[in-house]
Amino acid sequence: MSVDHYTYRLTWSPEDGEHVGLCVEFPSLSWLSDTPEGALKGIRQRVADALEDMTAAGESVPAPFAERRYSGEFRVRIPPEVHRNLALQAAEQGVSLNRLASAKLAS
């Protein structure tokens, strides 16, 4: 698996006074640097090392989010009163409950 296919995020850490590089697929890994470029380079290397170690140990590596397939469906449980309120809102707006929930989740 290529390290280029994983999802990286850079953020500032006020506690550390440095930039932090993170990888969504490997939440336990991070890298601190005084520059965003250094943080990205560091976390990419940590991911590459982790992939190498996992492969050598015969462990399965996480699939990158970009390469995962999604059905567009998931189930969520909500209290009955919330369900009723959403159904009322959908009816008032003349849309399906599914369309209303999708719009709310997207906003």
**DSSP tag of 92:** H
Q: What is the reported pLDDT for 68?
A: 93
Cα-Cα-Cα-Cα torsion 65, 66, 70, 73, nearest 10 degrees, comes to: 70
How far apart, in Å, are the Cα atoms of 107 and each of 26, 100, 101, 102? 27, 11, 10, 9
What is the chain's pLDDT, residue by residue, as a tens digit (107 residues)? 789 999 999 999 999 999 999 999 999 999 999 999 999 999 999 999 999 999 999 999 999 999 999 999 999 999 999 999 999 999 999 999 999 999 999 99
The pLDDT score that the predictor gives to residue 1 is 72
Structure tokens at 68: 């995962």
Whole-model pTM: value is: 0.74
Whole-angstrom CA distances from 77 to 1, 69, 93, 99 are 35, 23, 23, 17
What are phi and psi for residue 59, nearest 5 degrees?
A: -85, 155
Phi, psi of 52 (to 5 degrees): -65, -45
Residue 37: per-residue pLDDT: 98
